[in-house]
A and B are shown apart, each in its own frame.
Chain A
Amino acid sequence: AQSVTQPDIHITVSEGASLELRCNYSYGATPYLFWYVQSPGQGLQLLLKYFSGDTLVQGIKGFEAEFKRSQSSFNLRKPSVHWSDAAEYFCAVGPGTYKYIFGTGTRLKVLA
């Protein structure tokens, strides 16, 4: 079955520390992969996407993600977290024009 797993429900980091949010997927073909961020009370905003090519993709707000086919992973990273990064992060797989599968989200808390 197609699925996306975000194993960490909550993550707390100190401001200025590095961040890695994990995402694993199960899909039978080459996936299209996305990371979205949701600030409190808001909709989801695209951080970055991977369709093909270079497996390290850069996104907005200093985020990057690396596609590792052998590990079925698409982890999100940021070298230095800012307090404004506190939000909920969703990984998603887009296997088709209409069907997008979302993970359950990781809520990031940033300590001053």
Chain B
Amino acid sequence: DVKVTQSSRYLVKRTGEKVFLECVQDMDHENMFWYRQDPGLGLRLIYFSYDVKMKEKGDIPEGYSVSREKKERFSLILESASTNQTSMYLCASTEQGSSGANVLTFGAGSRLTVL
């Protein structure tokens, strides 16, 4: 089975801190995603990456950046955390394939609280 591992399950940070959320997948998937999950809003795409060093903005990229230096690792960076970034962050990956036919495999999530 594909495994997507998010190293930090729970984080508490202070406003203005730089935050790194790490995600690693072990099935050589080309595509990786970062979503934000908030009650009543479902999942919103922050960024995705379709190859090493390649990234595209999703629906809510403001306040976030990403890094993909290796195929298996996709990092989400909050340059200066704010309280409105308190949320659950979900990483996912899919293999390259026919359009729309790929299944997202999710990590367990990282719950971030910004004080």
Contacts and interface: CB of A to CB of B under 8 A. Distances in A.
A97 B106 contact: no
A95 B100 CA distance: 5
Contacts of B92: 43-44
Contacts of A31: 100
Given A49-B103, A94-B102, A102-B42, A41 B96 contact: no
A13 B111 CA distance: 29
B90 interface: yes
B90 A44 contact: yes
Interface residues of A, number: 26
Contacts of B101: 32, 51, 94
A98 B57 CA distance: 11
What does DSSP make chain A's interface, helix, strand, loop or mixed? loop
A104 B50 CA distance: 25
Interface string B80-115: 000000000010101011011111111111010000
Nearest to B30: A97
Given A90-B42, A104-B40, A104-B42, A97 B90 contact: no
Contacts of A103: 42
Contact of B104 (A44, A95, A104): A44
A83 interface: no
Contact of A43 (B41, B96, B99, B107): B107
B108 A42 contact: yes
A97 B40 contact: no
A105 B103 contact: no
Nearest to A98: B48
B99 A97 contact: yes
Interface of A: 9, 31-32, 34, 36, 41-46, 49, 51, 90, 92, 94-100, 102-105
